[in-house]
Structure 1
Amino acid sequence: MDRGYWDNPVTIETLTLGRYRTVSSTAEAARVLLEEWPVDEGEAFVAAKTLCLAVMEGNADPEEARKAFLIAADETDVFVRP
Structure 2
Amino acid sequence: MPNAKWSSPVEVGFAHKASQTVQGPFDALICLMDTWPDMRGPRYVAARSFCRAAIEGRKSPEEAREVFISAAKEAKLRTH
- Indicate the residue corresponding to 2:52 in structure 1: 53
1:6 partner letter: W
1:22-68 residue CA offsets vs partner (Å, 9 max, x unmatched): 10111000000011100111110000000000011111100000000
Partner of residue 5, structure 1: 5
Aligned length: 80
Q: Kindly report which structure 2 residues correspond to 1:13-28, keeping only aligned pairs within 5 A, or say none.
A: 13-17=13-17, 19-28=18-27
Identity of aligned residues (%): 34
Runs of at least 5 residues in structure 2 that lack an aligned partner in the other structure: none
Compute the RMSD of aligned alpha carbons.
1.2
- TM-score, with normalisation over the residues of structure 2? 0.92
Separation of aligned partners in 2, 1:3 and 1:52: 12
Which residue of the partner structure matches residue 39 of structure 1?
38
| Structure 1: tracts of 5 or more residues without a match | none
The CA distance in 2 between the partners of 1:2 and 1:61, in whole Å, is 12
With normalisation by structure 1, the TM-score equals: 0.90
Deviations 1:9-34 (A, max 9, x none): 000112425x2111011100000001
